[in-house]
Amino acid sequence: MSPLFSGPGARGYREVMARSGEILRRALGLDYSSFRRGRLAFDYEALMASPGYGLERAAEIQAACHVGRTPLLELERMTQLVRSYAPPGCGARIFLKDEAANPSGSFKDRRAALSVHEAKERGYAGVIAATSGNYGAAVASQAAMQGLKCIIVQEVYDSRGEGQPEIVEKGRRCEAFGAEVVQLTVGPELFYVLLALLEETGYFSASLYTPYAILGIETLGYEVGVEVRARTGRDPDCVLVTHAGGGNVTGTARGLRRAGCRSTRVVGVSVDLSGLHMASDADFNRKSFTTGHTGFGVPFATWPDRSDVPINAARPLRYLDEYRVVTQGEVFYATEALAQLEGLERGPAGNTSLAAALDVARSLPRDAVVVVQETEYTGAGKHPYAQLTFARENGVDVRRGDPEEQVPGRSIVIPWEPSQIRARPLSLARLRASYLRNAVQRYGLKGVSREELEFLAEDCRADEGFVAETLKGMGVGVEG
């Protein structure tokens, strides 16, 4: 198959991109224009209701595919570790939702199960997803269960032909489930190749950012809330969610609300890769985390609609109570601690929130409950040793020391002891201001209506006064 030179219509980059709206309408089965309310506003809750079924039905679909209802584990020895350096009376109980128990080894199975179900129900012959992460394996696994064909498009290599071991590992896993894997070098062609393949094959677009994908994660948030309440007699005080494109935060928070956990704080956590550009050929292999980092977390928080759908159902600023970052070295430390203290070897990216838990739990009282919301499988290419060896081969200094000294792309500093780990806060006010700046620039705003002001306030979870004042500083007034 050659998506660039075969099939109907002109296949050049500009021609394919010009047809993106038409291609996505056919591939998603959703008319996004029906949700729009003027220039920038849209009916978010109507979009989220578009699957036509609720949480109970979603859980039934997942259960039929062996997805969900994963173990909730209390990490008693990790809790004891935190209490060894916490102030007197502090050191919250740490629980972990073991999503590695899903068929392909991550929470992404929850998203894939509903997307592939939709494709099957609507009569599509296959599914396509563009992802270098665990989602590709999840889609491939679910497609195999449903008897559908599957294509996964990955960014794998830099211009030297060097591929990160974690991404190569995930490609092998997709192929093991029977998927065709299209591997690319880093650059702007990913979305183009996705569109060309969708047009040529007529397959369903199993995007990470549809309402189906987010509803799939709502079951995870709901399970966390209900199971913690049953185990401890209280709602979780804090749920730590690894944050990249925003779907994990959005779905988990919505599920917690459905479980009645109104006082639970939702904390997004990313690996700090500030200074590295994710689309840079030079930077691509100078990071050890392909997801769950600020290179996705910050851009998607400050403007969600940069994905492969017309309107992104993942809107993290609507749901974040806090946003924190940890270093690569701190995550590698947490990964080893989980394996050696709890006997659970899990992939490093899924332990991003666990690293933050080792700091957050120390300041909370001992009867408080902190939940690390997911884990991921590990394998040869995802193992810390493979990743750290690759980092050294790309000129990154790997050493023990104070993680505050780490410079992304130049060094990975693994702590000597857990008390050195810090989950550093990022300002949500600054992220909200960046979101508003992006809205102004994207739409060329000179003024906004009252309806648009209300939408912007909802979309970045800010009061209208903050939005109006921030827009005023950008030369944008409120009309009427």
Q: What is the pLDDT of residues 37-54, one digit of tens each?
A: 999 999 999 999 999 999
Q: Is the pLDDT of residue 350 over 90?
A: no
Neighbours of 212 (CB within 10 A): 26
> Tens digit of pLDDT for each residue in 418-465?
999 999 999 999 999 999 999 999 999 999 999 999 999 999 999 999
Whether residue 283 has pLDDT greater than 90: no
Global confidence as pTM: 0.96
| pLDDT value, residue 1 | 41
pLDDT in tens, 81-105: 999 999 999 999 999 999 999 999 9
Q: What is the pLDDT of residue 170?
A: 93
Task: From the options 3.30.930.10, 3.40.1390.10, 1.20.200.10, 3.40.50.1100, give the CATH code of 13-56+106-209.
Answer: 3.40.50.1100
**Domain-wise residue ranges, the chain:** 13-56+106-209, 66-103+212-425, 430-478
Average pLDDT over residues 328-352: 96
Mean pLDDT of 162-167: 91
How far is 365 from 227, CA to CA, in rounded Å? 21
pLDDT over 90 at 291, yes or no: no
Between 7 and 288, whose confidence is greater? 288
CA distances for 62 relative to 54, 142, 250, 256, 470, angstroms: 12, 10, 19, 18, 43
| Crossing angle of the two packed helices 20-28 and 189-201, in degrees rounded to 10 | 60
Q: Is the dihedral of CA 109, 206, 218, 464 positive or negative?
A: positive
CATH topology of domain 66-103+212-425: Rossmann fold (3.40.50)
- The reply to whether 13-56+106-209 and 66-103+212-425 are identical in fold is yes
Using pLDDT thresholds of 50, 70 and 90, give the confidence band for residue 145. very high
